[in-house]
């Protein structure tokens, strides 16, 4: 069962697939919201807004240590690591 806020969010985010369909009119969404307000929803959870984008950057700091010179101690029990 969807919450009132989830139903309204779906109606607002609906995008027609072709030119023969129309977007959901705001007046229709308001009427649906008015009818749904009589329901008793206790939680206020919204769906994730998929249009929100943000950039992620991972800083890279090169190391002066060469990987070929690293020795793995046998006490670590990493026999799967082999030097090529």
pLDDT tens sequence across 49-76: 677 777 888 888 888 988 888 888 889 8
Q: Can you give the residue range of the structural domain that contains 34? A: 1-47
- Residue for token digits 């800083």? 59
Is position 26 within any domain?
yes
Residue 47 φ/ψ region, left for φ over 0, alpha for ψ in the -120 to 50 degree band, beta for the rest: beta
- Count CB atoms within 10 A of the CB of residue 3: 17
The predicted pLDDT at position 45 comes to: 60
> What domain count does the chain have?
1
Is position 38 within any domain?
yes
**CA-wise closest residue to 37 among 8, 63, 58:** 8
Q: With beta carbons less than 8 A apart as the criterion, state whether 7 and 32 touch.
A: yes
- At 34, the pLDDT band (50, 70, 90 cuts) reads confident
Rounded Cα–Cα distance for residues 62 and 50 (Å): 35
Is position 39 within any domain?
yes
**CA-wise closest residue to 33 among 47, 24, 77, 83:** 24
Is position 31 within any domain?
yes
């Amino acid at each position: 069962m969807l919450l009132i806020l989830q139903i309204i969010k779906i109606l607002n985010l609906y995008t027609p697939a072709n030119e023969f369909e129309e977007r959901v009119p705001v007046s229709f969404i308001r009427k649906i919201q008015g009818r749904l307000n009589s329901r008793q929803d206790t939680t206020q959870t919204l769906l994730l807004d998929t249009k929100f984008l943000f950039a992620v950057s991972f800083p890279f700091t090169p190391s002066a240590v060469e990987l070929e010179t690293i020795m793995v101690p046998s006490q670590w029990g990493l026999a799967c690591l082999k030097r090529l």
